[in-house]
Amino acid sequence: MAIRKWHPGKLIILWAWGGMAAALALTGFLSSPVKEAPLQHLAELAFVLLSLLALSGVTWHWLGGRESDKQ
Amino acid sequence: MKKFFVVFTASALFVLTFTRVARPWQAQVEVVSKIEKIPKNFKTYSLFLVCNPQWLAPEKSEGLYGLYRQFQSFGRTIGDDNAAVWFWKEKRHVGADSSLAENVDVERSVRFCQAWKLTPSEGPHLVVTTVYPDESSLSAGLPKGSAVYGLGSMSPKDISALLAKLTDDLIGKGQLESTPAAGTTPLALWVRLLDATQRTLNSFGCAWTFKLDAGPVNADLHACKSE
């Protein structure tokens, strides 16, 4: 994914939506016993981890080298 | 011939009436003395077995009395075709005192517990079986399809909920829908790992508290409500 120009606001929007989706999935994962629907719980936990990882990756990628651009 | 018909009809009516009157008290069976046998011809038999010595201690009298009261209610609500069985040594007034434990026929319960390999510390036990519990052939072991519930670590509320569920099964379906043994199939490793992750996250979520002390305003926020 080529990121040409990122504004901090875009990251805030991404984290807001992504964080909310992850929080909802985590709530779903924690609110009922795993034994009732193991696959659903696995999907919810995987979504939480992958979405946070993806958001971290995007942020990391955008922040990389920003300091050098300013200088 | 007409006279014979009248006598026959009257006899049949008498038998039917007696049966309908007699069955309700039979559903709640309190077997008294060592020689009295468990009555037959029921669809299911729910035996309350007290083999745990801790439940015979004076401080447990109230708990044992509570269990007996729940047995009574259970026996009255499971219908005429199902028997709830409690063993007494002799017929006497039942109250929440130490004489209650003395009057429970523990020795008889122990014979069942030994033959059916029930762990006393998990008791008192409730065994629900569709096969007549014949005391002369206890060595044959626990009848197939029987459900065993260890009530020792359960609160009165949990016992009450369990008995309500059993009553639903016995009245509605005439049998137990799910025995405790059926629910103990080993879970896959990944499911257990997932379960452990969930428990860890849940316990972590309960670990924090937020306290605010700003003069006239005090707030104490807990993540999880403790009972």
Question: For the segment A52-64, what is each residue's pLDDT rounded down to a tens digit?
Answer: 999 999 988 888 7
ipTM associated with this complex:
0.78
d(CA A15, CA A60): 13
Task: State whether residue A35 sits within 8 Å of chain B by CB.
Answer: yes
In a shared domain, residues B179 and B194: no
Q: Angle, nearest 10°, between helix axes A8-31 and B189-205? A: 110
Flag if B201 and A41 touch (Cβ within 8 Å).
Answer: no
Same domain, B72 and B167: yes
Residue B10 belongs to some domain of the structure: no
Give A60 to chain B, closest Cα distance, Å: 26
Q: Tell me, yes or no, whether B106 and B129 share the same domain.
A: yes
Q: Does A38 touch chain B (CB under 8 A)?
A: yes
pTM over the 0.90 mark: no
Mean pLDDT of B162-174: 75
Whole-number pLDDT of residue B24:
42
Q: Are B113 and B154 part of one and the same domain? A: yes
Query: Residue A40: its pLDDT value, please?
Result: 94
Q: Is B50 a domain residue?
A: yes
Phi-psi region of B94 (alpha: psi -120 to 50; beta: other; left: phi over 0): beta
B57 and B156 inside one domain: yes
> Would you place residue B27 in the very low, low, confident or very high pLDDT band (cuts 50, 70, 90)?
low
Give the pLDDT confidence score for residue A51 in this predicted structure: 96
Q: How far is B182 from chain A (nearest CA, A)?
A: 14
B115 found inside a domain: yes
Tell me the per-residue pLDDT of B4-19, one tens digit each, with 9 for 90 and over.
555 555 555 444 444 4
Domain that holds residue B198: 186-222
Please tell me whether residues B96 and B61 are part of one structural domain. yes
Tally of structural domains, chain B:
2
